Every structure is written in structure tokens, then in C-alpha cells.
Amino acid sequence: MSCVGLAHQSNGQTLPLSRSWNRWYATGGIENGDLAVTGRYNVRIRESDGNDDNPDLTDYRGRTELLALWSPGSYTLSALWRTNFTRRGSLQLDLSAPVNAKDPKGLRWYAQAFSGYGESLIDYNFRQTSLGL
């Protein structure tokens, strides 16, 4: 699988809390059985009016994403690594499992661990570590 696209992401706030970015991206991926792997490269589109509210976003969040997804049976485990191949970036791990094993497409338990930069747009330049259930 491969694709090229254009994306916009914003936190919907006004200055000084506004954070947004526009980007072109190219994605490629492969799938084999229970395992899927995708890679994405983002090219940031600079603000034309010179009022960029987060010009160093990709220095922290990264330009490259690598996602590995493993789905054995009704469980799903994924790992997302964002990097620009410096000391910054992030790693996110997600696990989901059905609440009722007889209905794997129904309500699911979900856990997420995150460490690095860019978990939220407002705090993209602060290192964070979080665990969510």
C-alpha cells in the first residue's frame, strides 16, 4: 500500500495557545498475516504570512513515523515511533482487547503508554511520559 496526501492538524485555539501545521506526506506499508508495518514521511508547509505559531514543531515531533501493528486473534498491539533521527521524537505503545471475548468487535479495553515529544500540539516542545487506561 502506498499513498501521498495533504493534511492539516490544529488544536482549534487562538493565539497564544494556537498550534497548527499543514503538511504533505508520503506513506508506504506492507501487511503479512497478523502483522502490518507502515512508514510515513511528512514535509511541513510553511506559513505564507510569516505568523507561524510553532516553527520548530518538526524538530520536536519529527518528520518520520514508523507504525507496527500486530493483531493475533482478538487482541491488537501497536507501536508508533516518530523521529527526525535526533534525540527528540516519541514512542507510543497501544494495546486493546475485547471486554467480552465472545464479541471481539464490541466494546474493548484500551491501554496506551507514551514517552517523548508531540503527544499534544499545545505541548509539542515538552517531553512527556504518560500512561492511559
Positions annotated as catalytic residues are: 8, 10
In terms of DSSP bridges, do strands 35-45 and 64-70 run parallel, antiparallel, or are they unpaired? antiparallel
Whole-angstrom distance, CA of residue 55 vs CA of residue 5: 21
What burial letters (b/e) apply to 81-119, b meaning 16+ CB within 10 Å? bbbeeeebbbebebeeebeeeeeeeeebeeebebebbbb
